[in-house]
Structure 1
Amino acid sequence: MDTNAADGRTARSRATRARVARAAAGLFAARGYAATSVRSVADAAGVGEQTVYYAFKTKAAVLAEAVDQAVAGDAEPVPTLERPWVREALAAPDAEAQVRLHVAGTGAVMERVAGLLEAVRGGAADPDLARLWRANVEQRRAVQHVFADSLAARGALAPGLEAGEAADLMLGLLSPELFTLYTVHLGRSARWWRERTTEAVRAQVLGAVP
């Protein structure tokens, strides 16, 4: 087998998937899942419709890849917990700094992915999207547990608050539903969301007095 040729095909395949996912992201966020066809995604990506099916098999898989890339900010297969912003937050010198960096990093992710997650949630009558939504919630919850455990290890949680409760509080406060409510439906800025959400996490999770 020609290893170089195989590597080249793999690289081209990854590049095609990334291009299709990027093109699809804007369409899904703007139109929703049902109104976005595979043909429209192919046209936006500048590839044939069969190329999309060959790379992803289903429209739901295209949306799943678009979500993954939006969360990450790129097409590299690096888990969220290994991303620089997460490592920086967890290595912060104190709990207050950790919360501030955690909210800021999550806000940057939400600016990229919240619209796509609305498309997932709105299409959850489709079994594939229902599974995608549940998986996304569990992934976000797992990330919040890591942050909560870090705060617990610092001895920084509010009196009587356990790490599991803290994780679930942050899952809600940092959710795409609240981000979309404030920044889309109520017209607040992402900066406003970051500032108020930081205050909320400090109050509810750290027990900090404003």
Structure 2
Amino acid sequence: MTGKTDGRAERARATRARIVAAATATFTTSGYATTSINAIAAAAGVSEQTVYYSFGNKRAVLVAALDRAIAGDDEPIPTLDRPWVHAALAEPDPNRQIELQVEGVGEVLRRAARLLDIIRNAATDPELAEVCATSINHHREVQRTFAASLAEKTPLRTEVAAAADTAVALLSPETYLLLVDHLGWPHDRWRTWAADCLTRTLIA
């Protein structure tokens, strides 16, 4: 019985992953408002009922897609418990901490910036406005942790809260998409620029 239960759970997880991948591609191509559950189901190769059964509604599908993009997997591990965050926080050299911090955030932005942009453009929807606010607050919490760690290693030009907000702005999806998507910067150029800006702006 356990084997059958495990098999069903694994199939359900695989179906959810397929729906999330299809939804990510569809939202990114068509936007939130014009993407229907039917379109997501068709792209995933499942029925509409399967999408509703797995997630409940379109907003929940978008949130799941965003969570997957930010994490890079579907494991329930908070950002601050991720290995790349631990590595950056444990780095004794403040300049290297910033490099690791930017590298990690950069990988998140590669996966999630376009979905975050869609959410913020659709934030007139009250439900999506809440998702947008939550994502900004989460980003701010992560950057405050990095700023506090940096302050323990070297004098900063400003207080920790202001340093964190500076990082939120420099490492925002809006800035990333402006430079990478609209101005054509390679990702590595953005990463070098962001690390240099943070180092010059934050470290006294």
TM bin, normalised by shorter chain, reads over 0.9
Q: Does 1:204 align with 2:201?
A: yes
Q: How does 1:32-71 map to 2 (within 5 A)?
A: 32-71=31-70
Q: Offset of 1:4 from its aligned partner?
A: 4.5
SS of structure 2 residue aligned to 1:106? helix
| Structure 2: distance between partners of 1:3 and 1:127 | 42
Match of 1:163 in 2: 160
Taking structure 1 as the reference length, the TM-score comes to 0.92
- The amino acid that maps onto 1:180 is L
* Correspondence for 2:142: 143
**Residue 83 of structure 1: CA displacement?**
1.2
Distance apart, 1:156 and its partner CA: 3.6
Partner residue in 2 for 1:187: 184
Query: What count of residue pairs does the alignment treat as equivalent?
Result: 204
Residue 21 of structure 2 is matched in structure 1 by 22
Question: What is the aligned-residue identity percentage?
Answer: 47
The runs of 5 or more residues in structure 1 that have no matched partner are none
Work out the CA distance in 2 between the residues paired with 1:61 and 1:149: 33
Partner residue in 2 for 1:86: 85
- 8 A contact 1:145–1:163 mirrored in 2: yes
CA contact (8 A) 1:29 1:119 kept: yes
2: CA distance between counterparts of 1:39 and 1:102? 39
- Aligned residue for 2:141, secondary structure, equals helix
AA aligned to 1:86 is V
Distance in 2 of aligned mates of 1:24 and 1:156: 45
Letter matched to residue 53 of structure 2: Y
Q: Quote the offset at 1:44 in angstroms.
A: 1.2
Map of 1:96 onto structure 2: 95
1:3 positional shift: 4.6
Is the contact between residue 60 and residue 129 of structure 1 (CA under 8 Å) also seen in structure 2?
A: yes
Residue 159 (structure 2) pairs with residue 152 (structure 1): no
Q: Distance in 2 between matches of 1:155 and 1:195?
A: 21
> Which of 147, 171, 174 is 1:174 aligned to?
171
**Per-residue deviation, residues 125-160 of structure 1 (Å, max 9, x unmatched):** 1111111100100111110011011011213422xx
Q: Partner letter of residue 183 of structure 1? A: V
| Rounded Cα–Cα distance in structure 1 between residues aligned with 2:182 and 2:114 | 12
Q: Residue type matched to 1:32 in 2? A: G
Give the root-mean-square deviation of aligned CA atoms: 1.3
Which string of whole-angstrom CA distances, capped at 9 and with x for unpartnered residues, describes residues 147-174 of structure 1? 011011213422xx11111111101110
Structure 1 contact 95–156 (Cα < 8 Å) conserved: no
